[in-house]
Each structure stands twice: as structure tokens, then as C-alpha cells.
Structure 1
């Protein structure tokens, strides 16, 4: 009679080795679904210049590749390696879809915001400084991924300096972007005299602070877990959401131009603030789909009627109501 084989050894801290990977992949898939909806809405509502559309679709393709690689990770750890605890710490393709691809995606989004900062401020040194930090964190992520592939053990990566530089650089770049954009947009808001323009700027400021602060917090949390708990894989969970957060941040900024279905004229404010002059005449662009990657905010037409006050927007409001009624009837 055959002797039954011994049961495989299961370490008492098994949850600290399995839960981070599992939860990280779940967050990754969830954010990929949100990103897919964001890209679809962008495709339906906007027709920006080819540069902006190339940026959006390139990021989405990279995110799809990263999601496929992360799915290969989870299959390797929990399907191919079922019952073998040593497989849970194997790197497999994790160094490719986390530090390498996440660093690349972060650099693309951060450089886009750096370009916006340069347009808004006209300060080349500030934009170059933030851009160099962004490129440095991407290079550190690439080096960290290559070294992690060579080591092959996720619990032995804390001896490396490159992952720490990657996470610290990403957090620093996000913080600088959030602070710079907030200051620049706040100054523009202080110069504006129109409620509509102030409202748009207020929304952009809030989105900038919220999105960049969230991505910076995730990078800092990952760095803390990486340094504090080197024997576990807790640091694997947050970075799986990091790349998707960057892409969703960009799409949220773009799709923030959308308005109600029958208020298309107000939905076409562009993705920036170029040529904004709040002291004189303000006109609105009533095109159905925007085709400009410049930086401007579009507001309703307001002109001086010669009596020292601005013309009422009542006529424009009534016209919008009539257009909406005609559309419903058709």
C-alpha cells in the first residue's frame, strides 16, 4: 500500500504573502474597467487634436498590456503554484508590469502635466525640473525591474536602491505638479471676474489636488511598506493601482469638460487655460466637438452694452431652452 505523501508546509503568515497580490490584482482590474469607461466616454464626446488622441490611446494600450501581465502573475502564483508556498515570492513578470510599466505610464502623464505647467507659467526652469524628476523615476523603475528579474525573489528586493528612488521620485513629481498647478490656477481664478470662469477653475483646482495627492499617497505608502516589511509582499498591493491611477487621472481631467446632454456649448471647454483674459470681452465656442489641444477656457458670451453693465444672459438661456425642446421633439 502506498504511503500517503506529507502535507505541504503552510507558513503561519500565509495571508501576508497571498492577500497583497490578490487584492492588488483586484484593484488593478477594477481600475482598468473604470479606465475603459473613461476612454469610451472620451471617444464619444471629444475630438481633440491627433496628439491628445494619440496620448489617450497609447496610455490605454499600455494599461491593457499591464493588466494582461498582472493577470499572468496571479495565474502563476495561485494556479500554477497552487499548494507551493515558495511560488508566492517568485517575481515572474511582476517586475515588468509594476516598476517598469508603472514608471513609464507615470512619466507620460507627469510630462503632460509638466507641459501644462510650462504653458500656464511660462517658466521653463520649473517645467524642466519637474520633467527631469519624472524621467528619473521612470529610469529608476526600469533599473529596479531589471534587477528584480535577476534576483527573482520578491522578499529580497529591499536591498535595492532603485525601487526606493522610483517611488520617492514619483511621489515628489506628483507633489510638485499638484502644488504648481494649484498655485497657477488659483492666480488665474483671482484675476477672473466672471462666475462661470471661476467655477471652471475651481473644479480644475479641486481635481488637480485630489488626483495628484492620491497618486503621491499611494507611492509613499508603497515606499513605507517596502522599507518597513521587507519579509512580506505587502508592498506589492498598492503599486498595482498606481499606473491605473495616473491614466484615470488624465482621463478625468479630459472628461471633466463634459456637461449635460442638452448643454453642449458648455461641454466644450478645452483642457487648459490659454489666452484667458477676464478683463474685457468673453466669447464662447459653440462647436459640437472640440478639435484643439491648446489651453483655453470657454465661457458664455458677455459684452458691454454701453450702459456700464453686462448684457443679460437671459436671451442665451432662452435660446438653449428652445434648442433643447426642439431636440426632444425631433
Structure 2
């Protein structure tokens, strides 16, 4: 008597469980980084515009909710359903907390950069509208794919659904294309303005802003491309879920980095100026002929062969801070947001 035909072999457990576990761990780690970034923003920029505060705190609360939903799924996958291999194929709330919520954060961040580009170059309205169209398309693809995944109920059925696969392609390709266009636009704007920047510190601020923007968008674009490669190139696995779980956190952190970068810009705004402040000291320098003297107290001149350094003690007042912020505002137009008191 012949043996009954065997059914299809089950995939290796790690091909299903590893990405879910690692994605949850990285998600929590990036949420901690986001919390630190939000705290720094709260401390250093208490006088920011209300719209900026709503944006920053709203993004943090939104990502906190996403972390809670992902934690709920992880608990069911690895704790309450422990021992049931088929339990790992259930999508639970992942279609909501991964493609849908991640696409919303990507939409917010990409619209922020589109507005910045339009502010810097009014004649590029057509380019900004193109960015808006792409980011709306990727958001639509993410929502459609999430709905189809909810209807499928399992990762296996969702991956084999042609409509869902097309939606995922639109979502991830749209995010990558928008990020690459934003990075390219910022580099081109820096090249255009380089000839207009006659002061070293102005160029330093400009280069810093563009570098942060390019690095941030390259990181998010690379993550979207990696997710796409895993989704299309490694079938019958959940490997693609690891980068897609954290993609919203990466976008949120890049937004906070863009705002908190003003802390560094304030220091760069003083490079190349004739004075440098530190605490309650101002050190000024000037070229003088050869003189020799020995200082006996603070406030006296320290003279060398070619350079004289004079130290003055003073208490920094509000007017001094306002002057520093005014200089930063003049030299950081590339930043696209107003300077505020620290």
C-alpha cells in the first residue's frame, strides 16, 4: 500500500518570525530616539510657532500610537499564541500600523520638504506639485494595500494577491522616488546659491542644511528600496516587514533632526566672525605690531608677536541673544524656518 502524498512543506520558522521580532525591537529603539529628539526640541525651542509645535508633538504622539499597536501584535505573535506556527501568518493590526501609518508620516515629512523647496525657489512650483502628486500616490497605494491585507487576513494570502502587490509597489517606489527628488533638488539649490554666498559662515550653514536634508532623504529612500527588494525578490517570507515596520520612525526622526539642527546652525553662524562667545567671555582678535607684555589681571591685553587677544568679562543680556538670533536669521535663509531663542 502506497503512502499518502505529502502536503506542501512548511517554510522555515525564522523566515516568518525573525523579521517580526527584529522589526519590533528596532521600532522600540527608534521610538526612544524620537522621544529624545522631541525632548530636545521642547527644551531648546519653547518659542517656536504654534504650527511647528503641533507638527512635532503630533508626530510624536502618532508614532507612540504606532509603537503601541506594533507591541500588541508582537505580544500576540510571540506570547499569547506561542507554539502555534500559523499564528505568525496573521496580519492582526500590522496593515494599519505599518503601511498606512508609515505612509502618513512619509506624507507629512515629504510635504514639509516640498514646502521648503517652494519657499527657497518660488519658480519651482511645478516641481513641488510633482512631489505632492507622488507622495499622495504613495499614500494612496499604502492605504489600498493595507485594506487588501486586512481583507486577506494573513501574510501569505496578502503576498499572493496581485492587487495588493501592485499597491505595495506604488507605495514603496513612490516613497523612494520622492525622497531622491527632494535630495537632488536640495543639492541643486546649494549649487545655485554657492556663488551668492560671499561669507564663509553663510556657506557653512548652507552646506550643513543641505547635508542633513540629503542624508535624511537618502536614508529613507534606501529603506524603501530595501523593503521593495525583499518584498519582490524573496517570496514566501516576511523579511520585508522588518524595514517597513520602522520606516515611519525613520521619517519622524529625520523631521526632528531637521528642526533640532538649528542648535548646530547657531554655532556655525559665528564661524568666520571677528568674535567668538563662550559663556560670559568674549574673545576678540586683531593684528598688531610686535609687542611684549605680561598680563597681571583679567581685562588686560595678552600680546604675542603678531596677534593680540583681549578678554572681557560681561553678563549676557537679552539684547545680546537677540542680536545673535538676528544674525542667524540673516545667514540661515536656506533653513526655511525662523530662528528662535534658546
Above 0.5 in TM-score? Answer: yes
C-alpha contact (below 8 Å) 1:69/1:97 kept by paired residues: yes
Equivalence for 1:39: 38
**CA drift at 1:121:** 1.4
RMSD over aligned Cα, in angstroms?
2.4
CA distance in 1, matches of 2:151, 2:236: 18
* Structure with more strand by fraction: 2
- Indicate the SS of the match to 1:238: helix
Q: How does 1:230-309 map to 2 (within 5 A)?
A: 230-259=235-264, 266=266, 299=269
- Indicate the SS of the match to 1:247: helix
**CA drift at 1:155:** 2.2
Equivalence for 2:14: 15
Q: Report how many residues are paired.
A: 274
CA distance in 1, matches of 2:274, 2:282: 14
Cα deviation per residue 1:266-310 (whole Å; 9 max; x = unaligned)?
25x9xxxxxxxxxxxxxxxxxxxxxxxxxxxxx4599xxxxxxxx
Comparing 102-111 and 194-203, the one that deviates more = 194-203
Gaps of 5+ in 2: 1-8, 284-311, 317-342
Equivalence for 1:223: 228
1:140 partnered with 2:101: no
* Structure 1 runs (4+) greater than 3 angstroms displaced: 299-302, 316-320, 322-328
CA distance in 1, matches of 2:21, 2:68: 15
C-alpha contact (below 8 Å) 2:280/2:315 kept by paired residues: no
Q: How does 1:1-80 map to 2 (within 5 A)?
A: 11=10, 13-46=12-45, 47-80=47-80
**CA drift at 1:204:** 1.3
Equivalence for 1:6: none
CA distance in 2, matches of 1:244, 1:134: 17
Equivalence for 1:178: 183
Over 3 Å counting, the alpha-carbon distance change for 1:313 and 1:13 in structure 2 is same
Gaps of 5+ in 1: 1-9, 260-264, 270-298, 303-311
- Using structure 1 for the length normalisation, give the TM-score: 0.78
- Indicate the SS of the match to 1:258: helix
